[in-house]
Chains A and B, each alone.
Chain A
Amino acid sequence: MVLLQPDPFLNELTSMFERSTEKGSVWVTLKRSSLKSKVQRNKMKTAGETIEYRCLVRATDGKKTISTSVGMKDHQRFQASYATILKAHMTALKKRERKDKKKSAVDKKEEGSKKP
């Protein structure tokens, strides 16, 4: 398991997506973590210190796993870059082309931002 900084992690994630276009999957997991053991956390609680939580992000392509830890300060920037990467790679999903009048009325509300 390779722990990286957020930026190298994003670069590796991009290459993972590129490598698995023909076959294979990409798994990404998000979890909250303070990166401290339970003992340390209890000690901090009794001492009255606030525990700083970070968001742990793990990605794997089945063979290699990479991970990174994102804190409050970086999370906005990270989530913007992460969203861009996902948007760029999720090209294989189908686009809805239904022309039902009833459904398009509902879809327009949802997809208003999609259609320029």
Chain B
Amino acid sequence: MVYITSWDEFVDRSVQLFRADPESTRYCMKYRQCDGKLVLKVTDNKECLKFKTDQAQDAKKMEKLNNIFFTLMARGPDADVSEVAGKEQMEMQPPKKGRGRKQ
């Protein structure tokens, strides 16, 4: 089981994994309220990527990832535009607020 520490790396590698084999790649999530832990797993039955966290901010990132996976799975692995647009849109919004706060 490979636990990945960087969120972005986890996302990139899982999308790559899915694009390489959409038929057998699956995305699993386990949440334990009593421990306050969230674990994500993406596997194509040959390779496995995992990410674990107890941070609330990672729950938000996970939601974006959920959107990406839903789109990829429902529309097909070539749903390039929606993934990029989804990520870019989310990245666009924070910098604006960030600049406002610094000023």
Contacts and interface: CB of A to CB of B under 8 A. Distances in A.
Interface of A: 17, 20-32, 53-55, 70-72, 75, 78-79, 82-83, 86-87, 89-96, 108-115
Contacts of B75: 72
Contacts of A75: 70-71, 74
Interface of B: 22-23, 25-36, 38, 53-60, 62-63, 66-67, 69-76, 90, 93-98, 101-102
Contacts of B67: 79, 83
Contact of A111 (B35, B57, B72): B57
Contacts, number: 134
Q: Label chain B's interface by main secondary structure.
A: helix
16 contacts: A20-B33, A23-B34, A24-B34, A29-B27, A29-B29, A30-B70, A31-B27, A53-B73, A53-B76, A75-B71, A83-B66, A87-B59, A93-B54, A108-B94, A112-B94, A115-B101
A54 B34 contact: no
- Chain A at the B interface: mostly helix, strand, loop or mixed? mixed
CB-based closest 10 A-B pairs: A112-B94, A112-B97, A92-B36, A32-B73, A31-B26, A55-B73, A75-B74, A93-B56, A25-B32, A30-B27
B95 to A, nearest CB: 6
A93 B59 contact: yes
Contacts of B57: 95-96, 110-111, 114
